[in-house]
Structure 1
């Protein structure tokens, strides 16, 4: 007995290996008995594991785990991508065109998977124009889809992260967030927090917020404070969680911010002072500000506000103050013109 193959090109019959030449009673079960049911080397560095079998039936099953197969397959796909062979979709961003394979894009990005399989208009077209991503970011992300490699730097990490969030490439989002977190500093924390919030990177936004809260005293000395919008500044100073040595640090941050662009920010002074815990300021500090702060002189309402606070302190009014919370719940009140802080431990026996 022998097997034969008919070639498509010539129709000629070519003889394959004669089955009759195989040794008798040569079965897989017999061959596997030599291994004694142990794990063996497949001969190419791969690990082979027997997962069981039925000795009564004479059949055994084996699972071969060949992780390098996927690496080699993607290497071939990347080679095809580089040579422009068998591509079936072209991505356009600005003036850049990238010819790709849909199957690779879908494997890397839920965004593309939905685009090409959910009945969207792009499902049946070979040209797709993308918006809200940069050519550099898209090029890097397509490279990642084929290779699993992504190169980020201080210059490109923000645009790559924005694009990765849009395309829903979780692995790249995680890498970029980790990189930005490693660059977190008192000189850039406000900007990083605003960026993370704006692009919807929630975990990075949470971590940068904690950093800002804990390092408020140093952060407000840097120039990023001066670029905040009124809403951003008020969102910052109203937080109970910011750590300050005294409320004067918050007050001084407001004054510094207004003075940087007085023509446009003076109108926000009173609203900002309303968020400063002014009754936690020392009477001497307030008296000095009323006398010497030019901003208070230019905004009579804010000057009257500070005079009212000083009057409360000097008249020994018991005015509750919501303290900037830290590890303990703190309550301040004014007693005999002095701010008294009561630390209340919260908890019980376990």
Structure 2
């Protein structure tokens, strides 16, 4: 006899139980918490929770009781969980998630605990990561603990400076964090100072952990002068025999070997039992970061160049050099004070090269350096390319540009982006319409210079935007040379304006504005007439990379436009320009910032710039 299956029966059964629950029919047990009651069905509780199954099937007092009082459980969490048992859905927010997790853990409801853990993982930030790490450690949630610990490890350097939460960690949790090779600190001294602060926070109870934590500090990575001047002079360290013996071992290691550079494969010296492996954060380097088009319309490239080592890197590769399908032009990039990189607007090459009025983009993306991917942010309120961007105190400002290109009218509108809320809104318009201009922040004011008013007419306009008063001021003290598509940067309280174009003519002149005296002067000319270069400040020098120049063919004597990717440096102390590299492999002429990047997370090119 073949069984007949009714696929709808389970759904009818569930709907029937929900209806009985909602209408308080045939309920056979009352759960009580904080003096309030919830009437429900034993069978549903037992089917959903091993805790209640054991309670109602093991011949204990609650097995047949009409009322079960639950201690140390808040009624809101209990109500939410009982509703979840019937309906399979639950409303969770930051305020209730830990209480719900705790109660679900008591009830042994693993799937609900996992839902809460996933939610908390998605809410991790610098403010709550330490608290969530402690919570997950206490409740033995391995998935949540791994995620929160990794977050603490990644932001350890920032947490040490901005938060006291690390001082609340247990010994075991702190030891686990500072043992991690991926600890994001640029200097091991940060780890030592954190350990001392943690012990001094509760000296009576924590002093006994000093020697155990001391072994986890990689003193071989700390300068010998710091060890002798700071560490050895600390009273806690000086009075601990193990600590002093450990420091003697470090000193002996330095005398007998070349130090941390001669590490074993695992990062431990077998003779001295010293961990010499560098932390992940010690691979951070200040680099020039370029952005552009990549392999499709939705991804963006991020590439890097280290002027010190002359090495080239990429996190996300550029579009294929001979294929302009996904190339993006006239976009802008900005880096915030906490090293977040944003790419804003632009236009695809094909949309402006083959069209007279191609649509610009309103896309905004933030780079996630831990996953090596761009994260979509709230889009601009208007499509923009050939605009200018600036950052100040948690806000990004976007000025002018064009919504269609190359045709279309330049805009005067200005948008402000609140990084915390991920929202854009308009602020006061500029007094004029501009594109291909520049913007720099100085003392919480945005300086806007140059650009194009008409399609071919460059200007020497100088505007100042007062952020606090949302007001624009036209400055009479202008650049002497009207220009657009030029490089700009600030070094030692002086603003450098470099190259650019006016109509069809490219410019080599350099103008320097002393921001204290508000006086302009000409600087040494850039070695070539060039436009669309990027300029940044790096190690007390002005760096210029890439750009578009005009060459004369030796054969035909005809001019041809060439996009270059070389790099030049101007040292104010020497007063001269010098070419530092003939080719920066992954350079981009439209967007470059200086940011901290970790070489361990990047792909290194075999090509070294010369």
The answer to which structure has the higher strand fraction is 2
Distance, in Å, in 1 between the alignment partners of 2:112 and 2:187 is 41
**Structure 1 residues 120 and 97: CA distance shift in structure 2, 3 A:** same
Distance, in Å, in 1 between the alignment partners of 2:180 and 2:17 is 50
Structure 2 counterpart of 1:227? 168
Distance, in Å, in 1 between the alignment partners of 2:139 and 2:171 is 20
Structure 2 counterpart of 1:17? none
Structure 1 counterpart of 2:21? 78
1:193 aligns with 2:133: yes
Residue by residue over 1:8-49, the C-alpha shift from the partner in whole angstroms, topping out at 9 and shown as x without a partner, is: xxxxxxxxxxxxxxxxxxxxxxxxxxxxxxxxxxxxxxxxxx
Query: Could you tell me whether the CA contact under 8 Å between 2:129 and 2:151 is conserved in 1?
Result: yes
Distance, in Å, in 2 between the alignment partners of 1:131 and 1:157 is 19
Distance, in Å, in 2 between the alignment partners of 1:263 and 1:148 is 49
Alignment of 1:61-72 (within 5 A): 63-65=6-8, 68-72=11-15
Q: CA deviation at 1:201?
A: 2.2
Q: CA deviation at 1:237?
A: 2.5
Distance, in Å, in 2 between the alignment partners of 1:162 and 1:62 is 39
Where do 5+ consecutive residues of structure 1 fail to align? 1-52, 54-59, 342-350
Structure 2 counterpart of 1:203? 143
TM-score, scaled relative to structure 2? 0.39
Structure 2 counterpart of 1:287? 228
1:116 aligns with 2:22: no
**Structure 1 residues 68 and 257: CA distance shift in structure 2, 3 A:** same
Distance, in Å, in 1 between the alignment partners of 2:270 and 2:48 is 58
1:139 aligns with 2:79: yes
1:164 aligns with 2:104: yes
Structure 2 counterpart of 1:180? 120
Distance, in Å, in 2 between the alignment partners of 1:264 and 1:312 is 32
Indicate the SS of the match to 2:165. Answer: helix
Residue by residue over 1:252-293, the C-alpha shift from the partner in whole angstroms, topping out at 9 and shown as x without a partner, is: 221332344456545543443233122332213213314765
Query: Could you tell me whether the CA contact under 8 Å between 2:33 and 2:70 is conserved in 1?
Result: yes
Distance, in Å, in 2 between the alignment partners of 1:247 and 1:288 is 15
Where do 5+ consecutive residues of structure 2 fail to align? 279-610
Query: Could you tell me whether the CA contact under 8 Å between 2:77 and 2:103 is conserved in 1?
Result: yes
Query: Could you tell me whether the CA contact under 8 Å between 1:287 and 1:310 is conserved in 2?
Result: no
Structure 1 counterpart of 2:157? 217
Equivalent of residue 67 in structure 2, options 115, 123, 127: 127
Q: CA deviation at 1:216?
A: 3.3
**Structure 1 residues 73 and 321: CA distance shift in structure 2, 3 A:** farther
TM-score, scaled relative to structure 1? 0.64
Structure 2 counterpart of 1:249? 190
Q: CA deviation at 1:340?
A: 9.3
Distance, in Å, in 1 between the alignment partners of 2:118 and 2:5 is 40
Residue by residue over 1:97-152, the C-alpha shift from the partner in whole angstroms, topping out at 9 and shown as x without a partner, is: 22222122223222212221233332222222223422222122122223323122
Structure 1 counterpart of 2:586? none
**Structure 1 residues 264 and 80: CA distance shift in structure 2, 3 A:** same
Q: CA deviation at 1:157?
A: 0.9
Q: CA deviation at 1:309?
A: 4.6
Distance, in Å, in 2 between the alignment partners of 1:157 and 1:63 is 38
Equivalent of residue 154 in structure 1, options 88, 94, 104: 94
Query: Could you tell me whether the CA contact under 8 Å between 1:283 and 1:314 is conserved in 2?
Result: no
1:104 aligns with 2:44: yes
Distance, in Å, in 2 between the alignment partners of 1:157 and 1:316 is 54
Distance, in Å, in 2 between the alignment partners of 1:64 and 1:268 is 61
**Structure 1 residues 288 and 202: CA distance shift in structure 2, 3 A:** same
Distance, in Å, in 2 between the alignment partners of 1:268 and 1:288 is 23
Structure 1 counterpart of 2:416? none
Residue by residue over 1:194-215, the C-alpha shift from the partner in whole angstroms, topping out at 9 and shown as x without a partner, is: 2112223232223323333444
Aligned length: 272
Distance, in Å, in 2 between the alignment partners of 1:292 and 1:278 is 15
Q: Which has more radius of gyration?
A: 1
The answer to which structure has the higher helix fraction is 1
Distance, in Å, in 2 between the alignment partners of 1:188 and 1:321 is 37
**Structure 1 residues 154 and 304: CA distance shift in structure 2, 3 A:** same
